[in-house]
Amino acid sequence: MKTMRLMAATLSLLLCFGVLGVVSDVSNHRYKPNDEVPLYANKVGPFHNPSETYRYFDLPYCSPAPVKDKSEALGEILNGDRLVDAPYKLEFCVDHDSKSACKKKLTKEEVVKFRNAIYQDYYFQMYYDDLPVWGFIGKIDKEGKTDPSEYRYFLYNHILFEILHNNDHVIEISVHTDTNLMVDITEDKDIEVEFMYSVKWKETEIPFEKRMEKYSARHLETHWFSIINSCATVLLLTGFLATILMRVLKNDFVKYAHNEETGDDQEETGWKYVHGDVFRFPKNKSLLAASLGSGTQLFALAIFVFVLALVGVFYPYNRGALFTALVVIYALTSGIAGYTATSFYWQLEGTNWIRNLLLTGFLFCGPLFLTFCFLNTVAIAYNATAALPFGTIVVIALIWALITSPLLVLGGIAGKNGKAEFQAPCRTTKYPREIPPLPWYRRTIPQMAMAGFLPFSAIYIELYYILASMWGHRIYTIYSILFVVFIILLIVTAFISVAMTYFQLAAEDHEWWWRAFLCGGSTGFFIYAYCFCYYHTRLNMSGFMQISFFFGYMACICYGFFLMLGTVGFCASLLFVRHIYRSIKCE
């Protein structure tokens, strides 16, 4: 009871401070002429390195005194957003023509800083009435020059804002740069720069409810066609294999039933031959139970996130909503992991359930924490916005200590007290049978390769769009297609795991437990291998920070897929094994 009160108090505290992203600025987005509409400068960074972003005023722009940071929710901070008041004032329906924002004398060091940023193709991002806007900070003149030392560097010092409005709502904003008003910063010398801006308002008939549609994915018909084509191919292959498997099983049932009716004393062969060993508990059963618990939690996390996505919570540029949902839902579903792991561990006649519970809690969080520590240290060294402030780290630690851990323990206690028994239709013999020598293609690694390829082929097209959204500047919004692909992934993973389990038992190899989990989760290795291919063919990233972020966090994501799909494959195989041995007389 004391733990429950402590959890409730923590949730209330987090909600009061807006940490969970529930509390935000109350605004109906309606303005009158001359009203000041909030404009926030967010971040700057190399265009080809989306994770390497810095605070807007890390570049020597004119900054207000003092710089006012906007209060942000947990998800926004995790997303690397660091909003501050911009140096431009854009009143509602008020045009400006070459208005001065400020004048600043740039030192040689500041000129070099701007020039290096232009060389790396830096862009800036701002938010105007929660609408994102981007622009480049300068350009390089390479025309007619082959020697890089002859390039000319120009800083844009005049920005043109074009804003569309519908009555009292801001609908759209775009940024243009005046190429006739630039400052040459090629030479290392002090220079005085006047930063100016112009504002032009126009009327539009686009309703306020549809102002985010411009950021949604385009070419939807082509997207659907590609997905349907891929899924149709996979389903045809799956149906073909399913037909063969069902016919083979039917023949097995008929043969075994005939032998029982005729009293044939010939030696049993095939999967029935190992009926006395097929339900023998596996080695490292605590690790298997912990893997199933973590995989079940990640599966529940995916389902809840899909529900929120399908009801429209993650609309384009709802800053930090996805990260907030991932943190909160993962914390609240930890009880599922504790219950599943401990319950299954007790069914396997395990005794040290506390150690099993600790293993469950750290199986996914442990590698994720170590990866985060390394990458956050890299971000701190780069002084990038991806580096989490100390206060945010404390909040995440409190969520883990006061919500995740207690729920994990409560789920473990519930699983222990459930006292469920393992349902085995066949009795296990005292001594295990010797497994006959198997050809190389029936061993674990080749089986994992065969089992992972088919599910991966069902998602690789959609995976391209997801990676383009995660590590590029595209916005993913077609969650309905993604959900369909996810369901097909689960179905194909379950089926291929069942097929591999049958072939293993037919070869009289009764150690199927871990093989079923590994075959189901092997798709995660294919996804990570695809990340290498995507990096070398589709991305122009550079620098240690961006590369370490890409491969570090993708490794964690693929590891999560391994646990989740491994759980799906194992559960499907367990149901299948129970079904076929329940259908024949084994004693």
Mean pLDDT, residues 458-473: 88
Is the bond preceding 66 in cis, omega lying within 30 degrees of 0?
yes
Q: What is the predicted pLDDT for the residue at 458?
A: 83
Contacts of 457 (CB under 8 A, 6+ apart): 230, 233, 234
127-160 pLDDT tens trace = 999 899 999 999 999 887 878 888 999 999 999 9
Decide if 115 contacts 65 (C-beta within 8 A). no
* CA-CA-CA-CA dihedral for 237, 512, 450, 565, to nearest 10: 80
214-228, 298-312, 394-408, 513-527: which has the minimum mean pLDDT?
A: 214-228
The model's pTM: 0.89
CA 423, 424, 428, 434 torsion-angle sign: negative
44-55 pLDDT tens trace = 999 999 999 999
Q: Rounded to an integer, what distance in angstroms lies between the CA atom of residue 363 and that of residue 146? A: 54
Task: Spell 255-270 as b/e; 16+ CB within 10 A means b.
Answer: ebeebeeeeeeeeeee
**68 CB neighbour count, 10 Å cutoff:** 10
Backbone angles phi, psi at 147, to 5 degrees: -90, 120
Residue 187 vs residues 48, 109, 210: alpha-carbon distances, Å: 26, 11, 47
Residue 285 vs residues 271, 415, 425: alpha-carbon distances, Å: 23, 16, 20
Mean pLDDT, residues 442-455: 92
Pairing of strands 39-46, 122-128: antiparallel
Q: Please name the residue ranges forming H helices in 265-404.
A: 285-310, 321-332, 334-347, 353-382, 390-399
Decide if 206 contacts 170 (C-beta within 8 A). no
Decide if 369 contacts 330 (C-beta within 8 A). no
Q: What is the predicted pLDDT for the residue at 226?
A: 63
Token code pair at residue 481: 């297609």
* Residue 275 C-beta-side C-alpha neighbours within 13 Å: 18
Q: Rounded to an integer, what distance in angstroms lies between the CA atom of residue 299 and that of residue 251? A: 36
* Residue 402 C-beta-side C-alpha neighbours within 13 Å: 18
208-217, 287-296, 437-446: which has the minimum mean pLDDT?
A: 208-217
Q: What is the predicted pLDDT for the residue at 261?
A: 56
Please check the confidence at residue 230 and state whether its pLDDT lies above 90: no
More confident residue, 26 or 120: 120
More confident residue, 34 or 181: 34
- What are the boundaries of each domain within the chain? 35-215, 269-583
- Residue 169 β-bridge partners: 166
Please check the confidence at residue 461 and state whether its pLDDT lies above 90: no
Backbone angles phi, psi at 154, to 5 degrees: -125, 135
- Residue 100 β-bridge partners: 196
Please check the confidence at residue 4 and state whether its pLDDT lies above 80: no
237-270 pLDDT tens trace = 677 677 767 777 667 666 656 655 555 544 455 7
Q: What is the predicted pLDDT for the residue at 477?
A: 81
341-373 pLDDT tens trace = 999 999 998 889 999 999 999 999 999 999 999
Among left, alpha and beta (phi > 0; psi -120 to 50; other), residue 144 is left
**Residue 119 one-letter amino acid:** Y
**Residue 173 one-letter amino acid:** I
Decide if 522 contacts 457 (C-beta within 8 A). no
Q: Rounded to an integer, what distance in angstroms lies between the CA atom of residue 501 and that of residue 494? A: 11
Q: Rounded to an integer, what distance in angstroms lies between the CA atom of residue 382 and that of residue 45? A: 12
Q: What is the predicted pLDDT for the residue at 14?
A: 40
Q: Rounded to an integer, what distance in angstroms lies between the CA atom of residue 81 and that of residue 564? A: 30
Q: Rounded to an integer, what distance in angstroms lies between the CA atom of residue 137 and that of residue 115? A: 10
Decide if 106 contacts 155 (C-beta within 8 A). no
Of 370, 554, 529, 346, residue with least CA distance to 448: 529
Where do we find the tokens 């500041």? 110
Q: Rounded to an integer, what distance in angstroms lies between the CA atom of residue 191 and that of residue 60? A: 13
Please state, for a pLDDT cut of 90, what percent of the chain lies above it: 58
